[in-house]
Each structure stands twice: as structure tokens, then as C-alpha cells.
Amino acid sequence: MKIHKVYSHLNGEEYLMARKPALWAEIRDVIDKVDEAICKTKVSKEHRRKGQLLYSPPDLNAEFRKWFGKCSPVWSKDEFSYFVCEDEQTTRKIQNLPAQEQKSIIEAAGFEALRTNNETDFVKDRVAVEVQFGKYSFVAHDLYVKHLAFFAAGKIDVGIEILPMKSFSREMSSGPTFFEKDLSNILRQGRGVPGVPLVVLGVGF
């Protein structure tokens, strides 16, 4: 698999190049080792492409897990819990506080403290990587919720989102996201949104 496009948001790539060059090289090496050809295993049931072999997102994800898992030390899934409530003022007050403080403040204000969590696919040395070959909405969740939440919680310094180029997504089942669309969505929000350094990678064959 090849990287065709790189978008650096809030100097995400520059941070990696200056502060974590070995890690940045490792990520690029993993992408280079992913063999997309062996992932063309899904037999299409769509009317216009019935019987055609397409790339399988689950198989592509498995390839990434395999190669990230062979790094030393390995990249691992990370998760953290926090509390939310129905009240806007209380919610604003507890942002970025430790979970137990959030719970105490919510309950002291007379509301139910609801536990929730965020998790990300691959994390190492304060860098998070999400591989996204799913629907459009999943990318928005990654960029505006997952990466931002881990950054705000002080767990990462930069997030990386790996997306297919349109030329690649055309050979998947209908509906997957693609780099060009999500690049437009990010740029439309303005330079400071989302408020987390990111590197968005467009990959393909």
C-alpha cells in the first residue's frame, strides 16, 4: 500500500518529523508493508457489480493490525473513561478534569453521572493512529471526538487518520469514506478545528 496524499493539521506532520522521526518512519513502513492485493476478497452483491471482487475493509484492518502488532514495542489499543450529564453548565465545568472529579461535581450539582468512554485503535509514545475504511460518519467521530478527546485528556500529542483515496474506495462496497471528501470537510471548518494536531493520510494501491 502506498501513501498518496498527506494533510498536516495544526502542524501534526511537522511535530512528528521534528520530535518523533523514528515513529513517523515506522508508521510509513507499516503502510508500505500492508498488502492490499490479498484483501480483495469480498464478492459484491450489488446489482451493478454482482460477482465482482472488491477490497474487504475487515481484511484491510486485519493487515494493519498484523503489521502494527509486529512493531517493537507494539502499538496497542487504548481506552479511557469519563463522565457526562444532561446539564450544559456542569458539562462545561468538568471538561478535562479527572474522571472521579467529574463524577463528584456532577452529583454535587444534583445530576446523574453517566459513565462513557473513548478508545482508539493504535497508540504508542503519545501518538494515536486510526485506520478508517468505514462509513463517512466514522471519520467525523475519529477526528472530532476520539483524537480530540485523547488530546484534551493529555494522552496524545498528535493523531493520525488513515483513509482510502477515492480511486481505492471505488473498489470497495458502496459507502466508504475517502480522503478527498474528508479533507474538504476539515478545511471547511477553518484552521483551528478540530483543536488537535492531526496527520491525515490518503492511501491506495
Judged by phi (left if over 0) then psi (alpha if -120 to 50, else beta), residue 176 lies in beta
Judged by phi (left if over 0) then psi (alpha if -120 to 50, else beta), residue 57 lies in alpha
How many angstroms separate the CA atoms of 160 and 125, rounded?
13
The percentage of the chain sitting over the pLDDT mark of 90, rounded to a whole number, equals: 77
Closest CA to 203 of 175, 171, 173: 171
Cell of 60: 484491510
> What is the chain's Cα-based Rg?
19
Confidence (pLDDT) at 113: 97
Confidence (pLDDT) at 78: 92
Q: What does pLDDT average to over the chain?
A: 93
What is the pTM for the complete model shown? 0.89
Q: Is the pLDDT of residue 173 over 90?
A: no
For the segment(s) 2-204, the CATH number from 3.90.650.10, 3.40.50.2300, 3.40.91.20, 2.40.40.20 is 3.40.91.20
Q: Is the pLDDT of residue 118 over 80?
A: yes
Indicate the domain borders of the chain: 2-204
